[in-house]
């Protein structure tokens, strides 16, 4: 008997709301959708509309959601910045959601406030996908990160995974850590001391996954199977002088990578500033551009699953 669709009409707010089985269901659907003949794929979401509400800038998340919808024959409407909506006139988030849900079948929202997606999902009667909420979570990024690791390494279990950079404010870090906690992995957190993960991670995950904290990338690198690099998020620092102290703390370059395993893969949710040198892009370690492609595929599978079209 086919597994019931765990994403049917469901909000996607936090990755911890989904089980390991749910994630595998999605990954299998992503594989299936990627292999699907174009004539079948292009009909999947015919007549369906995705509403995108981006209160914060985005390149990949918004465009890959739009691309995913168009790839399956659906349509999109929304705004890429709040200045072109009534939010600029002072409209509340609640009223914006109540408005948009009348016009669309599913909503993806990005917002600078922590918890904004949970709040919006309480209001919306249509399924709502968190496209990034403040420093809190970015669950579909973690889903595509995990999907990329499986595609590149064959499995997630038994890997040593390093997370590098802005672990305090980087929402992708939190989603990925909660996602990784569903697997048997060893996680090494590498950051400047003032950019360590928030205490919630240890409260929630200490007993579920082996986690250690480090300062020195070069010491840890030879051990790693996956290195997940994140940008120091200038826009999240309450105190810019603190940002100045820690920016450019790390740089992944070909010299450092001489110490890495041959089959180390490097992922990055992007955008990047200077944490990965462009010279790394053409090395076999660099998988971040494939990660972007996987974003469209994974998000296609997610949209089709939420809207529960048979495929």
Partner 1 sequence: MSEKELIVQKIVEGTVIDHIEAGKALHVLSVLGISGEEGKVITIAMNVPSKKYGKKDIIKIENAYLSPEITNKISLISPHTTVNIIKNYKVVEKRAIEIPDEFVGIFKCPNPNCITNSEETMATKFYVPSKNPPLLRCKYCGRIYSPNEVM
Which C-beta is closer to partner 1: that of 45 or that of 173?
A: 173
Q: Around Cβ 230, how many Cβ atoms within 10 Å? A: 25
According to the binding rule CB under 8 A, does residue 196 interact with partner 1?
Answer: no
34: DSSP letter: H
Angle subtended at Cα 167 by Cα 163 and Cα 172, rounded to the nearest 5 degrees = 75
According to the binding rule CB under 8 A, does residue 254 interact with partner 1?
Answer: no
Distance CA 254, CA 149 (A): 21
**Which member of 61, 130, 135, 172 binds partner 1 (CB under 8 A)?**
135
Q: Which two tokens stand for residue 13?
A: 């707010």
According to the binding rule CB under 8 A, does residue 90 interact with partner 1?
Answer: no
Distance CA 191, CA 165 (A): 5
> Which residues, including other chains, have CB under 8 Å from residue 244's CB and lie 6 or more apart?
none
Binding mask of the shown chain, residues 2 to 21, with x at each position contacting partner 1 by CB under 8 A: ------------x-------
Which C-beta is closer to partner 1: that of 120 or that of 149?
A: 120
According to the binding rule CB under 8 A, does residue 233 interact with partner 1?
Answer: no
Nearest approach in angstroms of CB 259 to partner 1 is 36
Nearest approach in angstroms of CB 94 to partner 1 is 6
Total site size for partner 1, rule CB under 8 A: 22
Candidates 36-44, 112-120, 185-193, 210-218 — which segment interacts with partner 1 by CB under 8 A? 112-120
Which C-beta is closer to partner 1: that of 92 or that of 253?
A: 92
Nearest approach in angstroms of CB 59 to partner 1 is 22
Q: Return the H-helix or E-strand segment holding 39.
A: helix 38-41
**In DSSP terms, which residues pair with 78 in a beta bridge?**
52
CA 186 to chain centre: 20
According to the binding rule CB under 8 A, does residue 111 interact with partner 1?
Answer: yes
Candidates 124-132, 133-141, 188-196, 255-263 — which segment interacts with partner 1 by CB under 8 A? 133-141
Distance CA 142, CA 270 (A): 13
**Which member of 92, 158, 184, 283 binds partner 1 (CB under 8 A)?**
92
Distance CA 285, CA 80 (A): 33
Q: Which two tokens stand for residue 28?
A: 């299998």
According to the binding rule CB under 8 A, does residue 136 interact with partner 1?
Answer: yes
**Which member of 15, 93, 100, 104 binds partner 1 (CB under 8 A)?**
93
Nearest to residue 200, comparing CAs of 61, 22, 19, 14? 14
Which C-beta is closer to partner 1: that of 118 or that of 277?
A: 118
According to the binding rule CB under 8 A, does residue 112 interact with partner 1?
Answer: yes
Q: What amino acid positions are annotated as catalytic residues? A: 60-61, 89, 110, 138
> Which residues, including other chains, have CB under 8 Å from residue 37's CB and lie 6 or more apart?
none
> Are 27 and 183 within 8 A, CB to CB?
no
Task: Catalog residues that contact partner 1 under the rule CB under 8 A.
Answer: 14, 92-94, 111-116, 118-119, 133-137, 198-200, 203, 238
């Amino acid at each position: 008997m086919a597994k019931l669709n765990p994403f049917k009409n469901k909000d996607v707010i936090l990755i911890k709301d989904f089980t390991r089985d749910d994630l595998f269901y999605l990954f299998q659907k992503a594989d299936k959708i990627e292999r699907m003949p174009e004539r079948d794929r292009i009909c999947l979401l015919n007549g369906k509309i995705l509403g995108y509400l981006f209160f914060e800038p985005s390149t990949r998340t918004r465009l890959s959601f739009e691309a995913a919808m168009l790839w399956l024959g659906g349509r999109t409407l929304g705004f890429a910045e709040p200045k072109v909506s009534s939010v600029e006139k002072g409209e509340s988030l609640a009223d914006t959601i109540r408005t948009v849900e009348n016009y669309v079948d599913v909503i993806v929202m990005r917002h600078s406030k922590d918890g904004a997606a949970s709040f919006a999902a309480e209001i919306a009667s249509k399924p709502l996908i968190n496209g990034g909420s403040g420093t809190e979570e970015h669950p579909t990024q973690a889903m595509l990160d995990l999907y990329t690791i499986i595609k590149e390494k064959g499995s997630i279990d038994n890997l040593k995974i390093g997370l590098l950079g802005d672990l305090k404010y980087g929402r992708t870090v939190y989603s990925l850590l909660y996602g990784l906690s569903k697997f048997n992995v060893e996680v090494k957190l590498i950051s400047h001391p003032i950019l360590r993960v928030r205490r919630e991670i240890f409260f929630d995950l200490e007993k579920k996954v082996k986690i250690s904290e480090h300062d020195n990338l070069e010491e840890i690198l030879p051990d790693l199977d996956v290195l997940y690099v994140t940008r120091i998020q200038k826009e999240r620092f309450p105190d810019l002088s603190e940002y100045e102290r820690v920016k450019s703390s790390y740089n992944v370059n070909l010299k450092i990578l001489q110490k890495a395993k041959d089959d180390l893969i490097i992922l990055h949710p992007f955008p990047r500033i200077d944490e990965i040198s462009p010279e790394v892009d053409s090395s076999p370690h660099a998988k971040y551009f494939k990660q972007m492609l996987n974003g469209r595929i994974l998000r296609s599978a997610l949209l089709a699953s939420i809207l529960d079209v048979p495929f």
